[in-house]
Structure 1
Amino acid sequence: MDKDRIVVVGGYGAVGSIVCRELGHRFPGKVYAAGRSLERAEQLSRETEGRVLPMQLDISRPVDPKLLEGVKLVVMCLDQKDVSFVRTCLLSGAHYIDVSANISFQAQVEALQKEAERGGATAVMNVGLAPGVTNLLALEACRRLDRTEAIEITILLGLGDRHGKAALEWTVDNLGTRFEIIKKGRSETVGSFTDARLADFRGAIGRRSAYRFPFSDQRSLPSTLGVPDISTRLCLDPAFITAFLAGFRKLGLHRLLRLKPLRAAAIACFGRVHLGSERFAVQVEAVGEKDGRMAAAVYRLQGRRQSELTAFCALDVSEAVCGSTMPAGVFSIEQLLDWKRMSRLSREELEVEIRS
């Protein structure tokens, strides 16, 4: 059987539905919107006049490898607790793209290198806005310098935007987590919403206080770019929500979110209350040396509806994986692609600043 099918898991969600619709135009009848709700998948199929087909799939349970026969690519738009489904994909020879920002999950997928090689499959991690766009801009910033000592990444997300349930759950679950970063070449454990740093996004956004958050670009970039000090911080629009969450964390109230009813209420609150705007912003600042002098390369990107940009990144990677031969194994996005090769993302207007 020819491998020509594309399965988008979470294909009727905020990001997945965009991916399905776009791929459905290019590969009509070959794209499947997969998830636990067959009803929602069927609705999307009707809305696309059958260009996207429905598939009922529950990745929290063991998946029969036969279900992946004829599947060339799986695009994962949901968070996962373990790598069982990823392993099944890779061993079946299905290429795999993941939009997850989870550091610990990425580490588990990286351990599947042998499975990917055995199945002849390519797995691309860190696909989306953050990580994803952040990784690609970090690569561009490093290329502007002769030597890079540190990279500071700052992300602003507007709460007026539509955020998928998986993204909201991941954010709430990580408000009080501790995670590892690489600082001066050594592993260091830090806490979410600690260690504030002032970032200047310029324009209407201006200066914002941002706090550490466990985006997975902090795990991949020290290795792939050879940079010994990388940090990623998050702030939200409106600014008072960022300050509230930092205070919430400082007082230890994040522990209350371990209680399931309070966790569910927090996720519902973020999902229903649309404060602030739909805008997002990314700033990547690489600091190092250029022509024998200390220098910095700063890349800024601003826009609206981060779900769309996340989907565009996934689409660019999907088309690259389907349209060319890539090496088997598990890779971070910046190991296989760069900004110029991303047909949709490269249309976005970047602000570039070089300081020395």
Structure 2
Amino acid sequence: MTNRVLILGGRGRIGSSVAQDLVTHTQAEIIITGRTPESGVQKRLHLESQVQFLVLDLADVKKLEEAIASSNLVVHCAGPFHYRDANVLKICIEKGVNYIDVSDHRSFTSKALEYHEQAIAAGVTAIVNTGVFPGISNSMVRHDVEQFDAPEKIHLSYLVSGSGGAGITVMRTTFLGLQNPFEAWIDGKWQTVKPYSEREAVDFPPPYGRSGVYWFDMPETFTLPHAFPAVKTVITKFGSVPDFYNHLTWIAAHVFPKSWIKNPKGVEFLSHVSHFMTDVSDRFTGIGVAVRSEVTGQKNGKKSVYCSTLVHKNTAAATGCGTGSIGQLLLEGKLKKPGVWPVEEALPTDLFAEAMQSRGITIQQGWIEKFAEQH
């Protein structure tokens, strides 16, 4: 029997990248959804005939339930996730259907994790935060943590060129992430951090080199301390290319009246202006992504530092690889872990390495020869 995958929000840049990955690596029938009809969707997205389109609004619960019930796997790509409830996940658990998403916000992840016990009881594997960051980045951290006798500190840094090829959604996500201070795990306790603060210069692989990154609220800010309780500090920082955008974002976070950022109309205005600007700058900077995971800890009785780095020329495509690879593993039965999990607690390192290799994604890894005290 042919597997059937339902991709909610599959018409967008991220959703179509996930669909492309699943078409390439599985024989599954793919159903992508959107709120309005569209003809010629396969041609526009350069997808094969195994992809079909379904008009579906998430508010139409009855139709949503029917679509989920007739699927083997649901992939939730209908972001941004800041305002989303976990109703899709709830229905998947009720219907006994496995679930993954590309969520990237603390509030949504927290709501999803509340269904952990129900998912276990239903035998449903649900994995959240499966894109590139969070997603591939979390699995890079898991690999790095596993190199230590006693890991102590995780430092995750992300860099995106312009729009990242993800459309206006990435702009909305950025500005929504500036709304509130957030809790971060620092020196063994939760401390309040201001978004887009404490700029730090981090070394990324070519073509990026040394670039500025800032504190940014991501789900892994709180899921990684849970996954690796021995770790005393988890830092998550984000930056943009060109650097000019970092300064504009800093101004939005620290100078603009908070009412602008907290007002949906203000977020939309800033997002559209930013998207217009990246339409121009993308031609010069590209739409790539860089991820750097650095873990400090004890190895053979000494303080040591281990680092993994990844560069991909298309942020949206990298997200498709991260999410699509987990979808493939679930469909093939290689990954089965009932419950609701962030990706770093669900995906074993050997399966992660196999998935990245099959997609031609190279992750540079190794020990850094320097004293950890420099950090």
- TM-score w.r.t. the length of structure 1 is 0.92
Q: Write the distance in 2 (CA, Å) between the matches of 1:240 and 1:48.
A: 36
Q: Within 5 Å, which residues of 2 pair with 1:69-84? A: 69-79=69-79, 80=81, 81-84=84-87
Task: Select 2:362's aligned residue among 312, 333, 349.
Answer: 349
Matched, 1:232 2:245: no
Q: Write the distance in 2 (CA, Å) between the matches of 1:205 and 1:67.
A: 43
Identity of aligned residues (%): 21
Task: Select 1:335's aligned residue among 334, 345, 348.
Answer: 345
- AA aligned to 1:348 is I
Secondary structure of the structure 2 residue equivalent to 1:312:
helix
Q: Within 5 Å, which residues of 2 pair with 1:289-304? A: 289-304=298-313
Does the aligned pair in 2 maintain the 1:181–1:218 contact within 8 Å?
yes
Matched, 1:326 2:336: yes
Deviation track 1:20-66 (CA, whole Å, cap 9, x = no partner) reads 234245656721011212316x5237854531111122124434533
Does the aligned pair in 1 maintain the 2:155–2:234 contact within 8 Å?
yes
* 1:37 equivalent in structure 2: 36
Residues 328 and 49 of structure 1: CA distance in aligned 2, closer, same or farther (over 3 Å): closer
- AA aligned to 1:306 is T
Does the aligned pair in 2 maintain the 1:10–1:35 contact within 8 Å?
yes
- The Cα of 1:269 is off from its aligned counterpart by 2.0
Aligned residues: 354
* 2:373 equivalent in structure 1: none
Task: Select 1:87's aligned residue among 90, 93, 96.
Answer: 90
Secondary structure of the structure 2 residue equivalent to 1:82:
coil
Unmatched 5+ stretches in structure 2: 371-375
Task: Select 1:178's aligned residue among 176, 181, 191.
Answer: 181
- AA aligned to 1:328 is P
Matched, 1:21 2:20: yes
Q: Write the distance in 2 (CA, Å) between the matches of 1:189 and 1:9.
A: 34
- The Cα of 1:272 is off from its aligned counterpart by 2.6
Q: Write the distance in 1 (CA, Å) between the matches of 2:143 and 2:47.
A: 37
Does the aligned pair in 2 maintain the 1:29–1:53 contact within 8 Å?
no
Cα RMSD for the two superposed structures: 2.2
- The Cα of 1:292 is off from its aligned counterpart by 0.7
Matched, 1:138 2:151: no
Residues 326 and 303 of structure 1: CA distance in aligned 2, closer, same or farther (over 3 Å): same
Task: Select 1:107's aligned residue among 93, 105, 110.
Answer: 110
Residues 153 and 304 of structure 1: CA distance in aligned 2, closer, same or farther (over 3 Å): same
- TM-score w.r.t. the length of structure 2 is 0.87
Matched, 1:147 2:150: yes
- The Cα of 1:270 is off from its aligned counterpart by 2.5
- The Cα of 1:348 is off from its aligned counterpart by 2.1
Q: Write the distance in 2 (CA, Å) between the matches of 1:45 and 1:160.
A: 23
Q: Which moved more, 1:307-316 or 1:168-177?
A: 168-177
